[in-house]
Amino acid sequence: MDSVDLEVLKNSVHWQQQGHRVLLVTVVRTWGSSPRPEGAMLAVRDDGLVVGSVSGGCIEDDIIDRVRRQGITSDQPEAIKYGISAEEAHRFGLPCGGTIELVAEPLKPSSGIAELLDAMENGRLVARTLDMATGVATLGPASATDGLVFDGKTLLTIHGPRYRMLVIGAGQLSKYLCQIAVGLGFQVTVCDPREEYTETWDIPGVTMVRTMPDDTVMDMKLDERCAVIALTHDPKLDDLALMEALRTSAFYVGALGSRRNNQARRERLKEFDLTELQLARLHGPVGIYIGSRTPPEIAISILAEVVAAKNHVSLPDILQVEGAKAAREMAASTGSSCDVSPGPST
């Protein structure tokens, strides 16, 4: 599964190789509410075929219609605004008062899209600077905290993995979780020293390492844009990773297991001289409560909690596994009704 940016860029390069002209459209500025963030991209082929999105659909329809009627004849990028008037906001499905500014860029060899795609597929984080007057783009290094900049003369966009994820364990659940995580734009590393699991690993776009988990955590030099998820159920592996990860600034550290196992894990981790504040950062039982039973459902549950943490969303206890199960048990003991669905695996 490709991230959204990769899908747009791959199709753009493929269409150009087939001899088509391609228009790359990027959200560069929004005012008020907007359905898509700055940096969101859309590619339109000269016959109207499209990949990606910049809005809820109506703006895409207008751009496609323009391409079909007028073709892609210019070589120079242009800035376009939608939703300036209340009538336009209603027409293009923007929220009341919403305005969106786009840069529509006809692609050509000097656009450097093939080089950008190659950098992203090799896990590099790069800055692309587009000269609005010439349509020529250059690539350079970027940091994870850099953001889009548009001043009317140049457009600077950041591409590549801004967030990293370390998954401990290469079991069946890990395969589903990693596939989705790659689609969410994470640079994913799986750590599992057990040969019986790693020999059958076949998920593209994921780095596999066979070192011990605590060594892997230290080697990766985790920062505030990293998530760590322990999935083996083996304390000899999970605890080692958690012990080191909880001492870092990783924005999310979680472990699979029941409430009983989670409490036992916390008691074990205390023996590694972790502070109460560090232990409080551990998400466990991992995931949100959605009644998940199968590996794909559990993967969705876990990643929903990871994305919430990444986006600085604080989830109420009733959505978390421990709080939801406690509420269900209390409701059962008092004979009252409870609308929390039963039977999750996480």
**Between 216 and 31, residue with greater pLDDT:** 216
What is the distance between the alpha carbons of residues 22 and 321, in angstroms, rounded to a whole number? 46
**Which residues lie closer than 8 Å to 226 by C-beta, 6 or more apart?**
163, 164, 165, 166, 220, 248, 250, 251, 252
Question: Which neighbouring-strand residues pair with 42?
Answer: 25, 52
Is residue 19 within 8 Å of 139, Cβ to Cβ?
no
Q: What is the mean pLDDT of the chain?
A: 87
Q: What's the pLDDT band for 323 if we cut at 50, 70, 90?
A: low
Provide mean pLDDT across the span 225-252.
93
**pLDDT tens profile 1-21:** 456 788 899 999 999 999 999
Domains and CATH numbers, the chain: 4-159 (no CATH), 163-327 (3.40.50.720)
The per-residue pLDDT for 34 is 62
**What pTM value is reported for the model?**
0.71
Token couple for 323:
């709080």
Residue 297 has pLDDT above 60, yes or no: yes
**pLDDT tens profile 102-139:** 999 999 999 999 999 999 888 788 999 999 999 999 99
Residue-wise over 253-281: b if at least 16 C-beta within 10 A, else e?
bbbbbbeebbeebbeebeebebeeebbeb
Token couple for 128:
């692309």
Residue 185 has pLDDT above 90, yes or no: no
Residue 340 has pLDDT above 60, yes or no: no
Residue 224 has pLDDT above 80, yes or no: yes
**Distance between the two ends of the chain, CA-based, in angstroms?**
24
